[in-house]
Amino acid sequence: NNPNGMAAFSARGPTDDGRIKPDIVAPGTNIISNHSHYPDASNLWAAHESNPDYVYSGGTSMAAPLVAGSAVLVREWLGLQGVTNPSGAAIKAILINTTANMAPGQYGIGATQEIPFDRPNNVVGWGRADLNFITAPAPFGIWLDDHSAGLSTSQVVNYASTQSRPLQVLTSTQPLRVMLTWTDPPASLSAASQLVNDLDLVVTGPGGTQYHGNTIAAGDRINNVEGVVISNPPLGQYTIQVRAFNVPIASQPYALTVNGPLKAQADPPTPTPATATPATPTSTPVTPPPTGSPTPVTPTSPSGTPTNTPVTPTGTVSTPTGTVSTPTVSVTPVTGTRRLYIPLITR
């Protein structure tokens, strides 16, 4: 029941080809969930203490919906920021880049430490899903580039600090986090490595120090998620590069998100008050009215005599007969209790 602890039965990474998994984790033990009213429904982990409509449960059946719901909220938040149709990579990038750090875990440091301090790792990935960033106070800032224009091999996209995408760190008391994700094409099932299109992330600090995605200086050649976390970033301007190391299939779109103690966008300039200049009066000569006598105009009438031909309606108007009656409806109330059971079948 510790939010910074990993369930003993939760699977750890890596994958067979060495990729870091999981990407993200969420609470999955003793979670309150709805209880089915089907007569044969079980109480799962345990019945709720006071409300028969709920039970306790766990596993990915609880953790996965939590992350899915978080993804929906991220998509809604992006819409409020003007991103109306974000890619799956964009939502994934923000979810991963805003996780909570769980290290060292529920047992602390020492022989029983369960979570490494470095992220990412094969215990919690990048950490626990956390949406507190949505209401984080300044100087915390976050921005996203949902880069739909794909990259080809050897192409590079450079990012420098701008008003809309600031990269100037204001304080070292908050971490600077940069996350690059992309939706990779499927690989052959027999391939030794499942990564197809390979991009690299490089962040350069104000002193020229370079930080490489997943802390691999030579470039990560197996993961399609690359991140940089600088716990106490030096103050100043940063730059970012997204490099296409090898893109054998088509071109590769990506999503890049940055968050941390970033300089906010500049306020719009204050308008300068207008100075009123008095107008110089001018004189316009008046033209006297024309002289002479007006010539009368006599209107002429059209020739001929107009005629009016009356139209007499024909036919017979019938008045309906009969009596209109209001029907009487009797309602007999149904007494007693009725239950509707919807069977839940698990395969």
Q: Tens of pLDDT along 126-174?
A: 999 999 998 899 999 999 999 999 999 999 999 999 999 999 999 999 9
State percent of the chain over pLDDT 90.
Answer: 74
CATH no. of 138-266: 2.60.120.380
- Residue 265 — very low, low, confident or very high, per pLDDT cuts 50/70/90? low
- DSSP, res 319: P
- DSSP, res 215: G
Q: Which residue has the higher pLDDT, 339 or 138?
A: 138
Residue 196 has pLDDT above 70, yes or no: yes
**Lowest-pLDDT range, 35-39, 221-225, 259-263, 291-295?**
291-295
CA dihedral 138, 255, 97, 65 (to 10 degrees): 120
Task: Report CA-CA distances (Å) from 301 to 298, 304, 306, 308, 309.
Answer: 10, 9, 12, 18, 22
CATH no. of 1-135: 3.40.50.200
Confidence (pTM): 0.75
Closest by CA to 243, choosing from 318, 151, 165, is: 151
Task: Kindly write down the DSSP assignment for every residue of 265-287, as one continuous string.
Answer: PPPPPPPPPPPP-PPPP---PPP
- pLDDT, residue 215, reads 97
- pLDDT, residue 281, reads 47
Q: Quick check: 119 and 178 in contact, CB under 8 A?
A: no
- pLDDT, residue 342, reads 35
Can you tell me which residue has the tokens 């490099």? 243
- pLDDT, residue 1, reads 77
- pLDDT, residue 227, reads 99
State percent of the chain over pLDDT 70.
Answer: 76
Q: HSE (CB half, 13 Å, CA atoms) of 191? A: 11
Please state the rounded mean pLDDT for residues 231-249.
Answer: 98
- Residue 264 — very low, low, confident or very high, per pLDDT cuts 50/70/90? confident
Q: Tens of pLDDT along 274-314?
A: 444 444 444 445 455 555 554 454 444 445 544 554 545 45
Give the whole-angstrom CA distance, residue 182 versus residue 147: 10
Domain boundary assignment for the chain: 1-135, 138-266
- Residue 91 — very low, low, confident or very high, per pLDDT cuts 50/70/90? very high
- DSSP, res 80: H
Element at 54 (helix H, strand E): strand 54-57
User: Mean pLDDT score of the chain, rounded to an integer?
Assistant: 84
